[in-house]
Amino acid sequence: MSARIRPDLESIPAYAPGRSRPGAVKLASNESTPGPLPTVAKAIAEAAELANRYPDNMASELRAAVAEFHGVDVANVAIGCGSVALCQELVQITCAAATDEVLFAWRSFEAYPIVTQVGNARAVQVPLTEEFAHDLDAMAAAVTEHTKLIFVCNPNNPTGTAYGRADLERFLDAVPEHVLVVLDEAYYEYLRLPDDHPNGVEMGRGRSNVLVLRTFSKAYGLAGLRVGYAVGAPEVITALLKVHIPFSVNRLAQAAAIASLEAREELLDRTEHVAAERDRMRAALLDAGYVVPRSEANFVWLPLGERSAEFGEASAEAGIIVRPYGVDGVRVTAGDPHENDLFLAFATAPETTARFLG
């Protein structure tokens, strides 16, 4: 007989990481393609020499660097073992009763339903609009007396859609001040909205119920080291520190994040190429007849419905791993130009379009 585990865990959708396969091009996990910059690699190597010592549990130096970067106080910053850990901690600090609700758009980031259920709270999912964007009005209308936490993913993973500042502020105005709103900006650095730039940290100034999540995993290229951060009101940050798993942000991650912030100009320059590739991919796919919402992130979304899984298989057979999502669609990361070309060659080939767009 095996040990008794919470029976409700059986219904938790298992987190399905992007697959990989030897020799295949991986456009499945929204990673950045280039490895760490030399200065970052050096910081990692130096930190590794102290691997026998615990890391700084408060991540003081990194918090100070993030605070300076955003022009906020250290008391406004919490560090997490990836921003996904912060998502889980946010449920822990807001939800205590089984009737407590966590509200988010669907489809959105895979982790939201999981961290909600792990936290014994109730997920309230509001369908995306027909344009694959958050339905902000419907989300505001779905707030109840039980709502404790709202995740807004901007740009949205996996559809790439994003709102500008005015739309988001209208939403924030409509949400009661006692409900914590999390602006998950994992793809912030890829936003190229012409105007009305939605910087959550700016929107959060003067709104104590708004918290922003950013990560070093995407544009900063440190997905393998697991480090992200939250910027919010000191009371919320203090609560996050209470539920933080001690020492879960390791020494290498802290050192690499500090070095990456120092090298940010060079790293953020890279996002220009990625944004251009994403736009190029979208244009080619539109040309071939696909529906592709405008993306403000480092990936494109193909709403292929029932054919999503089959498309994912066919793409893998052609040597490119992409990410199918149930019966909703397929997310394709913008990688290096030659990788994207391989994918486009597959996706726009007459056999492929005949099979999937017929």
In angstroms, give the least distance from the CB of 85 to ligand PLP.
Answer: 7
Run of H or E residues at 123: strand 122-127
* Nearer of residues 260 and 284 to ligand PLP, judged by Cβ: 260
**CA neighbor of 300 nearest in space, from 321, 315, 322:** 322
Under rule CB under 6 A, residue 161 binds ligand PLP: no
Stretch that binds ligand PLP, among 12-20, 82-90, 134-142, 166-174 (CB under 6 A): 82-90
Cβ neighbour number for residue 188 with a 10 Å cutoff:
25
Cβ neighbour number for residue 60 with a 10 Å cutoff:
12
* Nearer of residues 132 and 346 to ligand PLP, judged by Cβ: 132
Cβ neighbour number for residue 281 with a 10 Å cutoff:
25
Stretch that binds ligand PLP, among 48-56, 120-128, 212-220, 332-340 (CB under 6 A): 212-220
Please state, in angstroms and rounded to a whole number, the distance separating the CA atoms of residues 25 and 186: 23
In angstroms, give the least distance from the CB of 161 to ligand PLP.
Answer: 12
State the binding string over 19-58 for ligand PLP (x if CB under 6 A, else -): -----------x----------------------------
Residues 258-297 binding ligand PLP (CB under 6 A) are none
* Nearer of residues 88 and 147 to ligand PLP, judged by Cβ: 88
Tell which one of 84, 95, 201, 231 touches ligand PLP (CB under 6 A): 84
Please write down the HEC assignment for all residues of 59-82. CHHHHHHHHHHHCCCHHHEEEECC
Q: Are 343 and 314 in contact (CB under 8 A)?
A: no
Residues 141-160 binding ligand PLP (CB under 6 A) are 153, 157
Partners of 102 in the β-ladder:
123, 149
* Nearer of residues 111 and 318 to ligand PLP, judged by Cβ: 111
Please state, in angstroms and rounded to a whole number, the distance separating the CA atoms of residues 214 and 268: 14
Please state, in angstroms and rounded to a whole number, the distance separating the CA atoms of residues 257 and 151: 24
Please state, in angstroms and rounded to a whole number, the distance separating the CA atoms of residues 62 and 258: 6
Q: Are 31 and 223 in contact (CB under 8 A)?
A: yes
Half-sphere exposure of 80 (CA within 13 A, CB side): 24
* Nearer of residues 70 and 307 to ligand PLP, judged by Cβ: 70
Tell which one of 94, 217, 254, 308 touches ligand PLP (CB under 6 A): 217
In angstroms, give the least distance from the CB of 245 to ligand PLP.
Answer: 14
Under rule CB under 6 A, residue 228 binds ligand PLP: yes
Tell which one of 102, 172, 186, 322 touches ligand PLP (CB under 6 A): 186
Stretch that binds ligand PLP, among 11-19, 56-64, 77-85, 334-342 (CB under 6 A): 77-85
Stretch that binds ligand PLP, among 55-63, 202-210, 216-224, 320-328 (CB under 6 A): 216-224
CA distances from 338 to 31, 107, 278, 312 (A): 16, 29, 13, 19
Stretch that binds ligand PLP, among 59-67, 217-225, 231-239, 271-279 (CB under 6 A): 217-225
* Nearer of residues 112 and 343 to ligand PLP, judged by Cβ: 112
Please state, in angstroms and rounded to a whole number, the distance separating the CA atoms of residues 34 and 102: 36
Under rule CB under 6 A, residue 223 binds ligand PLP: yes
Please state, in angstroms and rounded to a whole number, the distance separating the CA atoms of residues 112 and 299: 19
Residues that bind ligand PLP (CB under 6 A): 30, 82-84, 109, 153, 157, 184, 186, 215, 217-218, 223, 228
